[in-house]
A and B are shown apart, each in its own frame.
Chain A
């Protein structure tokens, strides 16, 4: 069975500080992995995705994520957080059959001035 775990429900960081949001997955093979951001009352915006190749993936808004097979992780990072980054972040896994996308529970990011 495939699953995604986001261990941190809520994270607070100061503006300008670095950020790392954790994501762990369970899947029998190499999955397709995604990070989405959702502002209140809005839909999902894709930040970045990993299908294969280079394990360090660059995304929009200065985000990056690193796929680590040995740790079954796909953590999201940003070197300097902006107040506008405050939102809910979802890690997602797409199974091999391309139909079954599983989402983590989400991590709510609060940015302190």
Chain B
């Protein structure tokens, strides 16, 4: 089946630093990938849609300058949390849409803790 990986699985950083999270589709090509954020005991909220070779589309209320998304290849999208602050601490989950299927395949998530 379609597998999506995320790296790192967890990261702890100091306030003010930047953190990059990678999302890879391991056995399929994904023109479109998605980034979600999940606060404790809450549901997933779509942050942005990442399109290979073009700019990401951000959901309302998501700061594009703070959450930089790069989708440079058909198997890799990165989310960079710039100048992270404690309120950015969350569980970040990516998904990738296999181009011929009406389905998104989810990565295992990245736990970000900002001290």
Contacts of A108 in B (CB 8 A): 41
Chain A interface, DSSP helix/strand/loop, else mixed: strand
Contacts of A103 in B (CB 8 A): 43-45
Given A101-B34, A103-B43, A103-B44, does the pair A94, B108 have CB atoms closer than 8 Å? no
Given A41-B111, A42-B108, does the pair A100, B46 have CB atoms closer than 8 Å? yes
Given A32-B102, A99-B32, does the pair A43, B43 have CB atoms closer than 8 Å? no
Given A41-B111, A43-B108, does the pair A90, B43 have CB atoms closer than 8 Å? yes
Chain A nearest CB from B113 CB (Å) reads 12
A2 to B10, CA, bound (A): 32
0/1 string, B68-92, CB within 8 A of A gives 1 = 0000000000000000000000010
Asked whether, in the complex, the Cβ of A106 is within 8 Å of the Cβ of B43, the reply is yes
Interface residues on A, range: 20 to 34
In the assembled complex, A56 has its CB within 8 A of some CB on chain B = no
In the assembled complex, B104 has its CB within 8 A of some CB on chain A = yes
Contacts of A41 in B (CB 8 A): 91, 111
In the assembled complex, B97 has its CB within 8 A of some CB on chain A = yes
Chain A nearest CB from B52 CB (Å) reads 14
